[in-house]
């Protein structure tokens, strides 16, 4: 069976940012291929009329974007634990999003949607401005080599898009086990001037990357950047 083809954005015309990820596809089992073809399109926001207002699409007042959802552990926990919350799981990892839609279908979750692709496109002009309550960025690629720091997600451009997407008093939560990245993010967010930053005020979910960080003995740092009225 052939995989469904989703519209691909032109990275030059859509937004002048450097890709912060490696697209990951890999070989898939027949079962996963079936889910990719039959289930994922049912959850995708790709073909919805834009701008997308997730509160209306999901009929929920509180919307959380899991930006870089990986295998979907956190997004699924959010959707399952609180039916009043609407969740958007964004990732380029095909197998991870298949895990999301498989579990969501099995559990009958109607309050979760996905985007299989670059989340910058979604934040830039796909969504209704000021329509998201929280954006969770958990353990993004730290790009530890100095020459690769330009590929890190937390940049002034990304923060401008976050500010535009968040509701008044909405927040972005950022978690990393890379101390250099955390220090850089704190500096960049402070210079943005659109957030009040607090630390260690959020219970970090135990995702695969969190477990790995604990196993390796890494220091885990977090911040909450709440949108101000400035």
Residue closest to 10 by CA, chosen among 114, 128, 136, 120 = 120
Active site residue 102: no
Helix axes 179-192, 156-165, angle to 10 degrees: 60
**DSSP structure string for 36-56:** HHHTHHHHB-TTS-SSB-HHH
Judge residue 137's burial from the number of C-beta atoms within 10 Å of its C-beta, 0-12 exposed, 13-18 middle, 19 or more buried: buried
Of the candidates 141, 160, 177, 196, the residue annotated as catalytic is 141
**What is the distance between the alpha carbons of residues 177 and 117, in angstroms, rounded to a whole number?**
24
**DSSP structure string for 106-171:** HHT--SEEEEES-HHHIIIIIB-TT-EEEEEEES-----SGGGGGG-S-SHHHHHHHHHHEEEEEE
The catalytic residue positions are: 141
């Amino acid at each position: 069976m052939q995989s469904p083809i989703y519209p691909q954005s032109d990275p030059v015309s859509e937004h002048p940012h450097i890709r912060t990820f490696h697209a990951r596809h890999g070989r898939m089992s027949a079962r996963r291929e079936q889910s990719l073809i039959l289930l994922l399109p049912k959850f995708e926001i790709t073909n919805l009329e834009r701008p997308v207002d997730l509160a209306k699409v999901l009929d929920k007042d509180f919307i959380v974007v899991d930006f870089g959802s990986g295998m979907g552990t956190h997004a699924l926990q959010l959707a399952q634990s609180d039916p009043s919350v609407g969740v958007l799981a964004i990732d380029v990892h095909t197998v991870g999003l298949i895990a999301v839609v498989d579990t969501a279908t099995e559990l009958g979750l109607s309050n979760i949607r996905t985007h299989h692709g670059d989340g910058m496109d979604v934040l830039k002009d796909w969504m209704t401005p000021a329509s998201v309550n929280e954006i969770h960025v958990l353990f993004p690629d730290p790009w530890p080599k100095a020459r690769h720091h330009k590929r890190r997600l937390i940049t002034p451009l990304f923060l401008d898009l976050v500010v535009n997407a968040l509701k008044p008093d909405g927040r972005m939560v950022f978690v990393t086990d890379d101390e250099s990245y955390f220090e850089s993010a704190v500096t960049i967010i402070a210079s943005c001037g659109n957030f009040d930053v607090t630390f260690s005020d959020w219970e970090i979910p135990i995702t695969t990357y969190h477990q790995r960080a604990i196993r390796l003995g890494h220091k885990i740092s977090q911040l909450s950047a709440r949108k101000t009225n400035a």
